[in-house]
């Protein structure tokens, strides 16, 4: 794996739990999972291993990282269940996957802007780099309202609640290891009970 991938990959136990939650919460008509920042495949592999999805699409802009992701998927025996796309996720959603919206759930674990997020007691999602919360959600919502974001554990819940157009409350779950929160997933759209 690349040096930055070791830092950014979701721990396997967290990825498996996230995959389980999304699999059970998505309506049966949602047969496709699109991982917009697939990295080396930690979450992508967990989605493919769940057996829930007809197809998993993995998008990553770093070619060396995709190579690692494909290798990891093969090690886990799910390489035939994943289609990999190299490039900008927003371009690929718009140009290659635009017809899949009614059948899809989008998952995104976007770059958070480096380790600086750890020092903020509440992480301001408007300053997340290279994409702010608005810059992520607007193009994702053009494809489907069913979106799951993996974000820093200290993300501003008020900012997330303001983004929620379809529900009275935002669904947010902290994923923990050894009693400590590692990240938070926020669930948008018509995703059922978690």
pLDDT tier at 163, thresholds 50, 70, 90: confident
Residue with the bigger pLDDT between 194 and 76: it is 76
| pLDDT given at position 131 | 93
Give me the chain's average pLDDT, please.
Answer: 90
Q: With both helix axes pointing from N to C terminus, report the angle between 42-49 and 12-25 in degrees, rounded to the nearest 10.
A: 50
Most confident of 80-94, 111-125, 173-187: 80-94
Residue 113, strand partner residues: none
| pLDDT given at position 125 | 92
Specify the range with the lowest mean pLDDT, choosing from 23-37, 56-70, 83-97, 168-182: 168-182
- Indicate the pTM of the whole model: 0.93
| pLDDT given at position 6 | 53
Phi and psi based region of residue 131 (left: phi greater than 0; alpha: psi -120 to 50; beta: remaining): beta
What order do you get walking across the sheet with 32-35 strand by strand? 82-86, 55-60, 32-35, 104-108, 147-151, 180-188, 171-177
| pLDDT given at position 146 | 94
Check if the beta carbon of residue 125 is closer than 8 Å to that of residue 132: yes
Q: Rounded to whole angstroms, how far apart are CA atoms 118 and 73? A: 30
Check if the beta carbon of residue 157 is closer than 8 Å to that of residue 130: no
Q: What is the pLDDT of residues 100-129, one digit of tens each?
A: 999 999 999 998 876 666 677 888 999 888
- Asked if residue 149 has a cis previous peptide bond (ω within 30° of 0), the answer is no
């Amino acid at each position: 794996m690349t040096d930055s991938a070791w830092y950014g990959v979701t721990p396997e136990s967290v990825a498996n739990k996230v995959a389980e939650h999304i699999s059970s919460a998505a309506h049966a008509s949602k047969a496709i999972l699109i991982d917009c920042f697939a990295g080396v495949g930690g979450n992508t592999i967990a989605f493919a291993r769940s057996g829930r999805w007809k197809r998993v699409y993995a998008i990553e802009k770093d070619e060396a990282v995709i190579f690692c992701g494909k290798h990891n998927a093969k090690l886990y025996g799910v390489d035939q269940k994943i289609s990999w796309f190299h490039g900008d996720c927003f371009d690929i959603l718009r140009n290659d996957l635009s017809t899949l919206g009614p059948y899809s759930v989008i998952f995104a674990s976007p770059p958070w802007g480096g380790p600086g997020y750890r020092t903020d007691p509440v992480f301001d999602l408007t300053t997340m780099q290279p994409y702010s919360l608005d810059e992520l959600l607007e193009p994702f919502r053009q494809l489907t309202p069913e979106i799951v974001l993996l974000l820093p554990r200290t993300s501003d819940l008020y900012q997330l609640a303001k983004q929620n157009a379809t529900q009275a409350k935002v669904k947010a779950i902290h994923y923990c290891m050894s009693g400590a929160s590692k990240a938070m997933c926020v669930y948008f759209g018509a995703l059922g009970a978690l």
